[in-house]
Amino acid sequence: MNLLVDAPPNELEIDGRQYAVNSDFRSCLRIILAFEDNDLTSAEKQMIMLNNLYPVIPNNVQAAFTKGGWFLNGGKASQDEDETAPRLYSFSRDADLIFAAFRQTHSIDIKTVDLHWWEFLALFMDLGADTTFCNLINLRKRVKTGKATKEEKAAAAAIGNAFEVPDIDNLTLEEREAEARFFEIIGVNK
């Protein structure tokens, strides 16, 4: 699929049948925000994905989830993320900066524009280097990879909580309950 000459999909084929998808970037961002929410279990995140992406959820939920992941990844095969790679941004934590970067770089008010998720991703990947959002990402990357200068480390410390990007928790409900019992046993409030 080439965005320059092909229309991005509004349907996905699952088990030989076409299923409509909510391709508006807002629906897809709701899914991404759910996956960033550490208060939700893995199963809850998956249900949010299915309910937000498909107007009619396919019978083969596993295939729907897999195909949905492909769609959310911009039509690219899902690559196993490098577990050691630092997380550099968060759609929930950095929302205001992303909003401003879209306005600054593309002159787009994302509150009112209609964009397919894949178009949003293409524009997101091309946010200008002079935006506060991209400068923050670069600072995070330099600090987290150990390449930051003393001044950059001081700047990161001055930013405080806004600098940190929380890790995504994909624990199941059972794993969370076991973790809570463990911390209770050892007397740690988490």
pLDDT one-digit tens code per residue, 98-108: 999 999 999 99
Q: Write down the pLDDT at residue 175.
A: 65
Q: Write down the pLDDT at residue 187.
A: 63
Tokens 């699952």 found at:
14
18, β-bridge pairs:
13
Query: Is pLDDT of 163 > 90?
Result: no
Compute the distance between CA of residue 127 and CA of residue 171 in angstroms, rounded to an integer. 32
pTM score above 0.85: no
Give the amino acid at 124.
Answer: F
> Of 124, 151, 150, nearest to 137 (Cα)?
124
pLDDT one-digit tens code per residue, 137-159: 999 999 999 999 999 999 888 88
Domain boundaries, the chain: 11-72, 95-163
> Of 54, 1, 45, nearest to 23 (Cα)?
54
What's the token pair of residue 155?
């700047």
Mean pLDDT for 17-32 is 97
